[in-house]
A and B are shown apart, each in its own frame.
Chain A
Amino acid sequence: MATLDQGGLTDAGRVVHDHYRALVRTRRVYTILSLAALLAVLLGALWFANAANSGKFFERLPYFFDFFIHFQPDDAMEIVRALFDLPSPHADGSFKYDYEVGRVYLIGDLYLPEYFYQMLVTINIAVVSTLMGFVLAFGLCFFAASNITGSRLVRFAARRGFEVLRAFPEIVVAGMLVAILSIGPIAAIAAVALHTVGALGKLFFEVVENADMKPDEGLRAVGGSWLERVRYGLVPQVMPNFISYALLRTEINVRASTIIGAVGSGGIGEVFRLSIGRDHAAKTYAIIILLFVTVVSIDWLSGYLRKRLVGQSAFQFGG
């Protein structure tokens, strides 16, 4: 702050000025104190993380770059061969070069390469679980919205239900179902779907609460039942936003089902974990490329659909 010529101030002005300076000073002290506290917590956290890790950061750093340098396929074409399950000239009978083994034959000699098939499994997991989560969240969200559900108890139960579903660790649901159903994608579907119910449910009921209640008033005035009010008064209003959120969720769920897969429920995540764990560079890079392209194109597709659906002028809430 530029210092003012205090001589030019009246007594009252000086009081105001001093008071202002005092306020600025206190504020600055608080800012510095909280930044110092943040820094202290950060340093403590870093020290703790380093101590808890099995390899220490600065000791491992050079090896980390070594790992990257040594983690290379025999030649660049190997990545393409791994991606499309073509026979490798380096083949020595080991798992490292068994690209053809994973082929999924469709008709005759026409096959789907293993990683494309696994990617398809993962995408299917994501889409199915989003769909199921959407249906359940759609059915439940109206019970959590204060403008359509009068009972405090019902609202409380629905909201806490969504919260628990959101916070419940997905791997526990998946792990339990893997123990019951044996390893497979169904465990992943259930885990991701349950989380989706929680996440979408919260967003949905907020959309419903922000909806324009005039159509609802009209329906109430002509004696519409609760279901009719929801069906004709709210659903047409909220549907575009619901679908937009569901599309966004599909993007997130593709990532989530990849991770869940890596923990042991199949799909591309599991193949990726195995290939990087076994030091199969060509396979690993092939999967990374495939995942990258898939994630980017799904993001793009969903973004495009959302823009078409809700438009640049996303419809106005409330009145």
Chain B
Amino acid sequence: MASIEISPDEALALRARHAEVLHRPLYRRLMAPLLVVGAAAYLVFCFFFFNVAGVFANAQWERAGIYIADWYSWEATPRFRFAKDGIEVEWTRSLLGDNPNPDWIEGGKDNYVVSFGGADNQVEISPGIVVVVESGRRYDIPISESGAELSPDAPANMSLKGGRVTVDYGFIGLAEIRNTQVLVRHRYLGWPNFFFDTKSPFFGKDLGQLWADASSPERIEARMPNWQLIIVEFLYNSEWQHLDVFMKLLETIVMAFVGTLFAALVAFPLSFVAARNINPNRVGNWLTKRAFDLLRSVDMLIWALFFVRGFGPGPIPGIAAIFFTDTGTLGKTTTEALENVDDRQREGIRSVGASPANVQRYGVVPQVAPVFISQSLYFWESNTRSATIIGAVGAGGIGLKLIEAMRTNQDWENVAYMVLLILVVVFVFDNISNALRSRLIGRSGH
């Protein structure tokens, strides 16, 4: 920046005129840097308080990769067991149907070749010896009673641990060679069983075939027409449980909707009791306000856990928890809005001889209604989110299902599916609430 020349006299005059700008007291000047230093010191303290270094040293980051990969892909995990007569192939949790015969496994009886994307990367399995081909080079891995052995010139993606040799081919999968079996993990993008599980008659069919099935009069199962069967098979997919997920999501939505609506219905009249300028009874004011404070400050979690104990898991405790907390919060904000209303409107209504009820109806309600509606809609929106979390402690809905899916540590793809649905629902309800808000109180409202 170009400097501006000013004479010493001008400088002094400026300094005298704007003393408060140029000569701030020391503590004011030091405030910002001190705050930053304080925050940094606090973070350092918390680094030790939460033992961050120790926790991170023991973290199992490789799990993160697997879990994230599960969000968009699945693994086929065949085991090749060394039996007396040749090799037995065993499939667990396979999505390839009852008779899996994928093109990446060739051979049979006592010699299998498992390919990981071409002849340059494959594993040849035969009793006693496994040949690993990695980037075109062959490595022999002899297997004895004590375990598999790794040749010393093996590349970095092959490792030996406790008599097991692991060959990692990256995203496409890995092979783990033990003395009794070879475990292969082969990863596919997407899930073939998303719409129909492997036991369903529609598994693996494309849209055209499904249409042909749906329109053909020949029933696959006698009890219902084919188009119904398609819907039933989709909803009762044993792995993805679409119907259950939808129902749980609906429970969450219902929890937020009913809880907020009841809270609004109860908080609105109660806040008239609590407002000092409307209800002259000071005891009534005080009691209602403290009741709001109690409802609000005892956390939503505490209410949720209490009601879960009382009513058993499900949406009722969720509704009750949201209702209790939000009655407090909505009551408090509405009381504040009521105490700040413009008194002239009420005077005007009173001066034409209106009854006390009409004074409130036409003199007060129109002033607080926009704030109240806007607040209620905002709470509805935010409760759709919090209903997920309190669901996880037993209050039902998608939260409970999410936490159950996460606990198994195997169903991260279901977690991803539910997260996606939750995001969609939250966005949809954000937009509904925004649209309602602008319709009911106009764009200018907050």
Using CB atoms and an 8 Å cutoff, list the residues of chain A in contact with chain B: 38, 41-42, 45-46, 48-50, 52-55, 57, 60, 63-64, 67-68, 71, 124, 127-128, 131, 163-164, 166-172, 175-176, 179-182, 184-186, 189, 222-224, 255-256, 258-260, 262-263, 269, 272-273, 276-277, 288, 291-292, 295-296, 299
Contact = CB atoms under 8 A, between A and B. Distances in A.
B396 interface: yes
Contact of B312 (A53, A169, A224, A258): A53
Contacts of A54: 312-314
A71 to B, nearest CB: 8
A297 to B, nearest CB: 10
**Interchain residue pairs A-B with the least CB separation, the first 4:** A53-B314, A55-B312, A64-B310, A175-B406
A7 B302 CA distance: 65
B314 to A, nearest CB: 3
B301 A269 contact: yes
Given A164-B423, A166-B385, 17 more contacts: A38-B261, A49-B316, A52-B314, A54-B312, A54-B314, A60-B316, A167-B427, A169-B389, A175-B415, A176-B406, A179-B406, A180-B59, A186-B50, A255-B300, A259-B300, A288-B302, A291-B302
Given A60-B311, A67-B310, A223 B50 contact: no
A131 B297 contact: no
B388 interface: yes
Contacts, number: 174
Contacts of B422: 167, 169
Nearest to B422: A169
Nearest to B35: A243
B223 interface: no
B396 A176 contact: no
Nearest to B395: A53
A172 B406 contact: yes
B68 to A, nearest CB: 8
B309 A181 contact: no
A181 B67 CA distance: 13
Q: Give the one of A57, A180, A276 with max B CB within 10 A.
A: A180
Given A54-B313, A262-B305, A255 B419 contact: no
A118 B43 CA distance: 18
B390 interface: yes
Contact of A128 (B46, B299, B314, B406): B46
A45 B254 contact: yes
Nearest to B393: A262
Nearest to A167: B426
A269 B310 CA distance: 19
A182 B59 CA distance: 7
A259 B299 contact: yes
A72 to B, nearest CB: 14
Contact of A189 (B50, B250, B403): B50
Interface residues of B, number: 65
21 contacts: A50-B316, A68-B310, A71-B309, A128-B43, A128-B46, A168-B419, A169-B422, A175-B402, A175-B406, A176-B67, A179-B63, A180-B63, A182-B58, A186-B50, A186-B52, A224-B1, A259-B389, A259-B390, A272-B305, A276-B305, A295-B299
A181 B299 contact: no
B13 interface: no
B293 A296 contact: yes
Q: Give the one of B302, B307, B317 with max A CB within 10 A.
A: B302
Given A222-B1, A273-B393, A259 B301 contact: yes
Nearest to A127: B42
A34 to B, nearest CB: 11
Contacts of A131: 39, 42-43
A64 B303 CA distance: 13
B127 interface: no
B399 interface: yes
Contact of A295 (B42, B258, B297): B297
A272 B388 contact: no
B389 A42 contact: no
B92 interface: no
Q: Give the one of A52, A54, A189 with max B CB within 10 A.
A: A52
Contacts of A167: 385, 422-423, 426-427, 430
Nearest to A67: B310
B399 A171 contact: yes
Nearest to A256: B389
Contacts of B310: 60, 63-64, 67-68
B91 interface: no
Contact of A263 (B302, B393, B430): B393
A263 B50 contact: no
A185 B50 contact: yes
Interface string B24-58: 00000000000000010011001001101001101
Contact of B247 (A42, A52, A68, A176): A52
Contacts of A171: 388-389, 392, 399, 402-403, 406
